[in-house]
A and B are shown apart, each in its own frame.
Chain A
Amino acid sequence: MNSNPRVQPTRRSCFTLIIALLAAGILLTAFAPVAAAEYPEREITVIVSWTAGGGTDLITRFLADLMEKNLGKPVVVVNKPGGGGLVGFNQIAVAKPDGYTIGVTTNSIILHKYAASSYLDWRELAPIALHNNDPAGFTVKIDAPWKTIKEALDYAKANPMKMRISNSGPGAIWHVAAALLGSKTGVQFTHVPYGGANPAAVAVAGGHVEATSVSPAEVGTLIKGGKLRLLAIASDKRDPLFNDVPTFKESGIDFVFGVWRCLVAPKNTPKEVIAKLENSVKIAVNDPKFKDFMTKNGFGQAYLGPAESAALMAQNEKDFEKIVPGLGLKKN
């Protein structure tokens, strides 16, 4: 660096200026009042572990919008599909537990333990509120040769591994549901994984797979559009939206299985933050707009707070341990 004698005095004064600025900065920090941080201070990110357009995605987006209205800060939904939800679940678990990153989990998180090659312990996430319950279904293309569930299952039984059934990811709810159905009826399916319920449904519509086990609500659009046919529902009672579709029970198969969806946060998120979030969700699910949305689209409504959700998850773990390992879905 060339030293110009004419520049020297300026250099020294500039040096002084910098030192002064630094000192001022440090002093300001020492005396600056710490603003009481009122949660939420900024936008909240909600991680959805499946592709956009599926059940979890749509419900969460609607919920997020209502929560935003009552929290006063943006609530942004982000999709992180993959691994049947595992990718997204992991993302939630490793996020900073400050309440600004939350997500949605389903009972897939517990199913993974017994049905997938890797899993995240559900205790790594702190439940906020369970807000939905949906049964599995059996959906085929509209022009498929099977008009009833019996016809479809008979074909599948006679042709082991030939019937391809799509799901929203390996080890996730619809995969296990299909496997469970298979074991109860003595059928061997080939399970084809997709990133979410939406692509899984589209695959049936396009004729690339023979059936899907995702919930009726998630194939509603394509059914209305005349591309798919719902053959049976895995619930106790018939769905009001699909009145003419029998349950599996009615068809003689004791198959009742479905998903629940729960808003969660990373494990160590402060209790007050969780309480605030739970409150926000409670207000949102009681909003008539939400109820209307859920009913119109065929999504089941349910509600459980943090403690009850945790209890349900613990119970699920015990139940799944009994029925899922026998399906042989776990690879290692």
Chain B
Amino acid sequence: MESLAGLFYGLGITFQPQNLFFCFVGCFVGTLVGVLPGLGPSGALALLLPVTFALPPSTAIIMLAGIYYGAMYGGSTTSILINIPGEAASVVTCLDGYQMARKGRAGPALGMAAIASFIAGAISLFGLLFLAPPFANFALKFSSPEYVSLILCGLILVSFLGSGSRLKAFMMGALGLLLGTIGTDPIEGMERFAFKIPYLMDGLGLIPVIMGLFGISEILANLEEEEFRGILTEKIKNLFPTLRDWKDSAWPIVRGTVLGFFIGVIPGGNTDISSTMAYALEKKVSKHPQKFGTGIIEGVAAPESANNSGPSGSFIPLLSLGIPTNSTMALLLASLMIHGVTPGPFLINQNPDVFWSVIASMYIGNLMLLALNLPLVGLWVQVIKIPYAYFFPIIFLLCLLGSYSIANTVFDIGVMILFGIFGFLMKKYAYESTPLILAFILGPMFEEHFRRSLVLSFGSFGIFFERPISAAFLGLAILLLAVSLLGPLIKKKQFEIIP
């Protein structure tokens, strides 16, 4: 089969020593960058992009792919160990991953994150190989109304994520959307709620907000304990996933992979949404939804699979149409074009070495990540055992440094501390931060697409219902909303009927 022959051709290229070396460098740097809060994959890619100009296109792409995957994985590591997501896509991994770490199961969590990512990457790459043409056209059908409905689904799904009051989750979601409006209006560029402060005109920084809301508040909450018991509530159990873990994770991985892939194909459908939706989907289909959030392996396997199959999905519009689906892909597109490679239907014919080595490098990158990180799990787990009295100042410092290093201003530190206090108060008043942060991330996109949809439709709201894909998502959103609000009511009624 032509595709397989191409794959072997690509593997052949990738296995050249130079390419393998740069793949390793990419993975290593990526993991490091992902682990250190404050530098996301885009940041690292942007910094290292110039280095790639000296390299031949295939090598450059291989290294970039390595960085990207490495950073994704590194971000999950911090989510699990210290409840600070390395970047937006790892936010949901905190929910169960951190709890697993507290129960002494950091090893299986980290291991499953790596392995699920690998499996998802491998499966989704097959999808990329064989499904590219039809999916590419599917990607083109997406315009603003579809995004609105899709994001609306995502926003409603966040009410499923927590274990607390649904109403409060919606409230926090609304608040997150509002906080996202601070800065400049995405379409006209008018200053909003920024009070002429230059820093605020760019909006509240995502990293300081995340670090404050998740990291600082968590430490402050822990500090309330009389004794420094640290985050471990039980003894460290296993270093690697058990057989039981594998059994539990099998279907979540499959579902997460498929979902992540689909969403990755959609231009602008980024991995943040896909991991959230995968988590919510798992919770919905699970036989024990109430256990989500207490530290179960499915809560790690599903989102990790989704955010790894996403990039494979997003390569489809990029390579076949030249449409970048997120900022990282845009950087890759720029890199390709600068190297004289024009993405598009002709890419496979004109530059087969680039295309196939990209595919092959993604496999190798995933594999290398696995090889790099699994032995390190033992090391990572030790991190949790550090006495909390020494541990927490260092985490504080990492957060402070991470915030500062974004723009070399203490303003970011200020925002972080403020949100740390806010997050702490939220915990005390029983509100969850996950809906807030996810809405905060999705808000600007949602608004931009919503407003553009109304321009496209000449002011009619019908556009959301007339277009089939949008209608489908909207229908799903309404269904989810109904279930979300009525579910508890129905259960209550059931209890009342049965004496």
Q: A53-B330, A53-B333 are in contact. Are A58 and B338 (CB under 8 A)?
A: yes
- Bound: A74/B52 CA distance, A: 12
Residues of A whose CB lies within 8 Å of any CB of B are 43, 51-53, 57-58, 61-62, 64-65, 68, 74-80, 82-87, 90-91, 94, 116-118, 161, 164, 169-170, 190-195, 198, 202-203, 205-209, 221-222, 224-227, 293, 296-297
Residues of B whose CB lies within 8 Å of any CB of A are 46-47, 49-50, 53, 140-144, 184-191, 198, 201-202, 267, 321-324, 327, 330-331, 333-334, 337-338, 340, 342-346, 448, 452, 455-456, 458
Return chain B residues, CB-CB under 8 Å to A82. Answer: 184-187, 189
- In addition to A61-B49, A170-B189, 15 A-B residue pairs with Cβ atoms within 8 Å of each other are A43-B47, A53-B334, A61-B334, A64-B50, A65-B53, A74-B50, A79-B330, A118-B190, A161-B458, A192-B456, A205-B321, A221-B322, A221-B343, A225-B322, A293-B338
Return chain B residues, CB-CB under 8 Å to A118. Answer: 188-191
- Bound: A195/B144 CA distance, A: 12
B456 and A68: CB pair below 8 A?
Answer: no
Nearest-CB distance from B266 to chain A (Å)?
12
Q: A83-B185, A203-B143, A208-B456 are in contact. Are A65 and B338 (CB under 8 A)?
A: yes
Nearest-CB distance from B225 to chain A (Å)?
19
Return chain B residues, CB-CB under 8 Å to A222. Answer: 321-322, 344
| Chain A minimum-CB-distance residue to B409 | A96
B46 and A78: CB pair below 8 A?
Answer: yes
Query: Which residue of A51, A83, A225 is within 8 Å of B189 (Cβ)?
Result: A83
Query: Which residue of A78, A90, A116, A225 is within 8 Å of B346 (Cβ)?
Result: A225
A206 and B188: CB pair below 8 A?
Answer: no
Nearest-CB distance from A44 to chain B (Å)?
11
28 A-B contacts, Cβ less than 8 Å apart?
A: A43-B47, A52-B331, A52-B334, A53-B324, A53-B330, A58-B334, A61-B49, A74-B50, A76-B46, A76-B50, A78-B46, A79-B327, A79-B330, A80-B202, A116-B189, A118-B190, A169-B187, A170-B189, A190-B455, A198-B323, A198-B324, A205-B140, A205-B321, A206-B141, A208-B143, A224-B346, A225-B345, A296-B340
- Bound: A198/B346 CA distance, A: 19
Q: A76-B46, A297-B337 are in contact. Are A117 and B188 (CB under 8 A)?
A: yes
- Bound: A280/B99 CA distance, A: 53
Nearest-CB distance from A52 to chain B (Å)?
3
Return chain A residues, CB-CB under 8 Å to B448. Answer: 195
Return chain A residues, CB-CB under 8 Å to B185. Answer: 82-83
A192 and B455: CB pair below 8 A?
Answer: yes
| Chain A minimum-CB-distance residue to B146 | A208
- Bound: A85/B189 CA distance, A: 8
Q: A78-B46, A222-B322 are in contact. Are A83 and B344 (CB under 8 A)?
A: no
Nearest-CB distance from A54 to chain B (Å)?
9
- Bound: A170/B181 CA distance, A: 18
- Bound: A154/B345 CA distance, A: 33
Nearest-CB distance from A172 to chain B (Å)?
10
| Chain A minimum-CB-distance residue to B345 | A225
B267 and A84: CB pair below 8 A?
Answer: no
Query: Which residue of A91, A202, A226 is within 8 Å of B267 (Cβ)?
Result: A202
A221 and B342: CB pair below 8 A?
Answer: yes
Nearest-CB distance from B100 to chain A (Å)?
36
- Bound: A221/B334 CA distance, A: 12
B190 and A192: CB pair below 8 A?
Answer: no
- Bound: A91/B198 CA distance, A: 8
A83 and B187: CB pair below 8 A?
Answer: yes
What 4 pairs across the A-B complex have the smallest Cβ distances? Answer: A83-B189, A52-B330, A86-B189, A208-B143
Q: A52-B324, A82-B189, A84-B189 are in contact. Are A62 and B338 (CB under 8 A)?
A: yes
Return chain B residues, CB-CB under 8 Å to A194. Answer: 452
Return chain B residues, CB-CB under 8 Å to A206. Answer: 140-143
